[in-house]
Amino acid sequence: MEAINGLAVACDVSMQRGLAGKDPIRLIPRLSRQGRIAISDHGPIEGKPLVIFHTSTGGRAQSPAMLNSLRTAGYGAIVIERPGYGLTDMCEARDIWQSAALDVVEVLAELDLHDIAILARGGARPALATAAALGRVCRGGVLIGQDTPAHLDRSLAGVLGQTKAWMFANPKVIAGLAKLLSNQYQHASH
């Protein structure tokens, strides 16, 4: 963990809560499982804690204008990368949403935060699982721009849309790729 923290410092990111920096990253060891959780704590420390959930295709990086607006409004924005995203380690779990919720619970314990709100920019399922896991610790939240369920999303515009179109048109290739990846995962885990 020290080597990774050293790398973060060398890359000119802030390692302390609430200080301005290009990416105020912090790596928190998981308490109940193997691995680490990457967060960006944009502060200020005295701000009302707001946990931001990133999009399905994004990570810790958030709009600087949005973060500044949140600070001005008195919020301390904390972005927690979900398992398998960015610098957050993947973890073996039957329920990935509960795993993401447990990461948030552990981060809040590490930061000694007991009263938060949620802002989900995509990622409704982990945000809702987290709100349920937190109970009264979560005083509310906002879901913005949620992902359309795959079976309802027929948009084929842009890079993601074209990728979907290719996948829909080539199910045998996708099945073969899934089998190959599954075999490699099984081989690597033994």
Q: Judge whether residue 135 has pLDDT over 90.
A: yes
DSSP string, 64-88: HHHHHHHHHTTEEEEEEPPTTSTTS
Element (H, E) at 130: helix 124-134
> What pLDDT does residue 18 have?
47
Q: For 18-27, 93-102, 169-178, which range has the lowest pLDDT when averaged over its residues?
A: 18-27
Q: pLDDT-based confidence at 6, cuts 50/70/90?
A: low
Q: Judge whether residue 173 has pLDDT over 80.
A: yes
> What pLDDT does residue 13 have?
46
Do residues 12 and 21 lie in contact, with contact meaning Cβ atoms separated by under 8 Å?
Answer: yes
Q: For the chain, what are the domain ranges?
A: 2-147, 150-190
Residue type, 38: A
Question: Is it true that domain 2-147 has CATH number 3.40.50.1820?
Answer: yes
**Cα torsion for 104, 106, 112, 113, to the nearest 10°?**
20
Please state the rounded mean pLDDT for residues 83-104. Answer: 90
- C-alpha angle with apex 147: 62 to 166, nearest 5 degrees? 105
Do residues 45 and 19 lie in contact, with contact meaning Cβ atoms separated by under 8 Å?
Answer: no
Q: Judge whether residue 113 has pLDDT over 60.
A: yes
> What pLDDT does residue 29 have?
95
Please state the rounded mean pLDDT for residues 106-120. Answer: 96
- Measured CA to CA, the distance from residue 105 to residue 13 in angstroms comes to 24
Top pLDDT among 186 and 133 is at: 133
> What pLDDT does residue 82 have?
93
Q: For 70-74, 113-117, 165-169, which range has the lowest pLDDT when averaged over its residues?
A: 165-169
Q: For 45-49, 74-78, 172-176, 179-183, which range has the lowest pLDDT when averaged over its residues?
A: 179-183
> What pLDDT does residue 16 have?
46
pTM comes to: 0.70
Please state the rounded mean pLDDT for residues 64-78. Answer: 94
Tell me which residue of 63, 57, 56, 69 sits closest to 40, measured CA to CA: 63
